[in-house]
Amino acid sequence: MTYGTKIAWDDSVLPFQLDASDIRGRVARLDGVLDGILRQHNYPVVVEALVAEMALLTALIGQTIKLRWKLSLQVQSDGPVRMIATDYYAPAVEGEPARVRAYASYDKDRLVTGGPMDQLGTGYFAVMLDQGEGNEPYKGITSLTGKSLSDCAEAYFAQSEQLPTRFSLSFGRASGPNEPEHWRAGGIMLQQMPKASPLVTKSDGDGEPLKASDLLDEEDGENWGRVNILLDTVEDMELVGPIVTPADLLVRLFHEEEPRVFDAQAVRFGCTCSEDRVRQSLSIYSAKDIGTMINENGRVTADCQFCSAHYDLDPISVGFEAEKPGE
């Protein structure tokens, strides 16, 4: 299902560099990706907004990872929205689209009046990286802080990676002639190019969290401040981008910073679930455990939380001639 006419720069991430200030960044536009993610579920609007922001952050951050790597972002909280999880799968072959998927777990009866962040309580924002077989997975976390999930992501990069990072995002429901209301999102990510020797040590988690200004020397601080002032002039409609192309937006914002663009990365909604993966996940259970999973029809069922795919399996096909509970 698609809405309206496909815009050439939708569902893509454009990497760029500002040569005059030694700052790199990405511009992302999501449309069909959000449709693919959100149409699988019937989320309340405030939950949809959190998922949309998380998916946009995932696309912006994920574009930096290498072929065959997997990036995951996750929010865990004790609030009405208990968890938001996203995955970014880098293309296996250069030139192919990357894939993004996302879902949220929430308590409908606990949702409160207010904005999306009001649905999150105390918890953490996590970044996880799977670099493939033979490599140790990476996980970094930071507490939920600020007025948005992008504030959490900025805090993560400052504290865990010591990279000054800034996000400017816009997302919401949009509609046009002869098309139903649907979600669109767009944003810009800026990041100071890393130095060979960090200027500060990592926060130990007990003191004040690091900010971008803590990580920069005088010259870099001037560059960072100037570029952020320019980014502050961006308008929401420019970020969402049904009219302004990513390249035109960069020229409008940063023409004096000598912007240089690279090849754009296409992004699509995609889930990796399959019957084989379900069987593999069930293989860790004993025959007795499988027996407790059998329903009244003598079947083992499983649902994918990301895409809502439903799997109905014969217990024998899972590798067990399990008995039904109570037999």
Structure tokens at 281: 């996940």
- What pLDDT does 201 receive? 39
- pLDDT over threshold 50, residue 188: yes
Percent of the chain with pLDDT over 90: 54
Predicted TM-score (pTM) of this structure: 0.81
Where is pLDDT greater, at 286 or 234? Answer: 234
Task: Identify the structural domains of the chain with CATH numbers, from first to last.
Answer: 12-269 (3.55.30.10), 275-318 (no CATH)
Residue 325 has pLDDT above 60, yes or no: no
The residue ranking higher by pLDDT, 203 or 247, is 247
What 3-state DSSP class applies to 9?
coil
Mean pLDDT (the chain) is: 83
Q: What's the rounded mean pLDDT across residues 199-203?
A: 40
For 119-138, what is the mean pLDDT?
88
**DSSP H or E segment with residue 28:** strand 23-30
Residue type present at position 120: L
Q: Mind listing the pLDDT tens digit for each residue in 15-31?
A: 999 999 999 999 999 99
Report pLDDT digits (tens) over 75-91. 999 999 999 999 999 98
Among 81-90, 173-182, 283-292, the minimum mean pLDDT is found in 283-292
Which of 115, 119, 201, 100 has its CA nearest to residue 158?
Answer: 201
Q: How far apart are CA 62 and CA 89, in angstroms?
A: 8
Q: What is the pLDDT of residues 131-158, one digit of tens each?
A: 777 778 889 999 998 999 999 999 999 9
Nearest-CA neighbor of 278 among 324, 231, 314?
A: 314
